[in-house]
Amino acid sequence: MGAVAATGAMPAIPAMAATINVPGVGNIDVPLPQEYEQPAQQLSQQIQQALAAVPSAPAPSAPQAAPQPPGLAPLLPGLFAQPNTPGDIALDAARTKVGAQYSWGAAGPQSFDCSGLVQWAFRQAGVQLPRTSFEQSHVGAPVAFQNLQPGDIVVTNGGGHVGIYAGDGKLLNAVQSGQPVSFTPLRPDMVVTARRIV
């Protein structure tokens, strides 16, 4: 039996399609039966209107600091916080000098006396402080011991010594000759005055 020849043309199937715009991909034609053409066009318009109402995502930029997870904040104080006060910035600067040598009359950047370290640290925060511990005992606003915050200036030793409160009952200071810049314990009975630079 021989092959059967097809005669005539196949009937054309109407190509009904809905065009949907997918952000980041482009326009996509979705073939649809004729009875769905009108609802599909309406759906396409509704999708376009909904997408237009959604704010577009910003273009990628430089990495930003991670938001502070509320559940971790009490467990990891300071980990997510950005320095934002002069005291925060000064304390961070002074921490970079832990281990630097004490030298009477020195104000950095390699060696320090007590008031020289405080003056240098606050200069990094854009704050000009006077040079001596006595003069520094009059700057800023007074702070009670129980309200001390990291970055506050603390004057001790009858007014003859000054350091920066580092939190957890510690003072970051240039103590004396032969002893490098370090953290030392701070008790309420040691404090002559504490000052906050705002």
Percentage of residues of the chain with pLDDT beyond 90:
54
Rg (Cα) of the chain, in Å, rounded? 35
Q: What is the CATH number of domain 86-196?
A: 3.90.1720.10
Domain ranges of the chain: 17-52, 86-196
The pLDDT tens digits for 83-128 are 589 999 999 999 999 999 999 998 989 999 999 999 999 999 999 9
Secondary-structure breakdown of the chain: helix, strand, coil percentages, each rounded to the nearest 5:
25, 20, 50
User: What confidence score (pLDDT) does residue 12 get?
Assistant: 46
What band does 80 get if pLDDT is binned at 50, 70 and 90? low
Establish whether the linkage from the previous residue to 188 is cis, with ω within 30° of 0.
Answer: no
Q: pTM score, two decimals?
A: 0.59
Give yes or no for residue 67 having a pLDDT over 70.
no
Conformation bin of residue 140: beta by default, left when phi > 0, alpha when psi is -120 to 50: left
Q: Give the integer Cα–Cα distance in Å for 114 and 93.
A: 14
The upper half-sphere exposure of residue 34, i.e. CA atoms within 13 Å in the direction of its Cβ, equals: 3
